[in-house]
């Protein structure tokens, strides 16, 4: 089934859909040129399909496109960045140790 990620700025979150059904979301807080990722959640019936990773990648790619720095407070986002070091540059160097990304 087709997945799509949609930014919902009014709700401060990116949502991932499978078909027409909401499968999960990542909440964020935007302040100036920084975006703090706070929480990622996938509905239980959609778990194990790689949707959280797809959602996280899209959200981080959006941050890069807009020239935003990333603060990965969400444990899932932090772990995903550790597994994909090509995204570490989005986290300010002065914050990387705090997020265990150095």
The pLDDT tens digits of the residues spanning 47-75 come to 999 999 999 999 999 999 999 999 999 99
27 phi-psi bin (left φ>0, alpha ψ -120 to 50, beta other): beta
- Helix boundaries (H) for 1-102: 51-65, 75-83
Residue 102 confidence (pLDDT) = 79
The pTM assigned to this predicted structure is 0.95
Question: How large is the angle between the packed helices 51-65 and 75-83, nearest 10 degrees?
Answer: 80
Position 59 scores a pLDDT of 98
pLDDT at 1: 76
- Cross-sheet strand order for the sheet of 69-72: 3-8, 13-18, 21-31, 34-42, 69-72
Q: Give the pLDDT mean for 76-84.
A: 98
């Amino acid at each position: 089934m087709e997945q799509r990620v949609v930014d919902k700025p009014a709700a401060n979150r990116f949502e991932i859909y499978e078909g027409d059904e909401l499968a999960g979301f990542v909440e964020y807080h935007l302040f100036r040129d920084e975006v703090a990722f706070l929480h990622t959640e996938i509905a239980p019936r959609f778990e194990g399909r790689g949707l959280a990773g797809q959602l996280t990648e899209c959200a981080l790619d959006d941050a890069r496109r807009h020239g935003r720095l990333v603060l990965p407070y969400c444990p899932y986002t932090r772990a995903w960045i550790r597994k994909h070091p090509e995204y570490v540059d989005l986290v300010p160097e002065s914050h990387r140790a705090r997020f265990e990304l150095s």
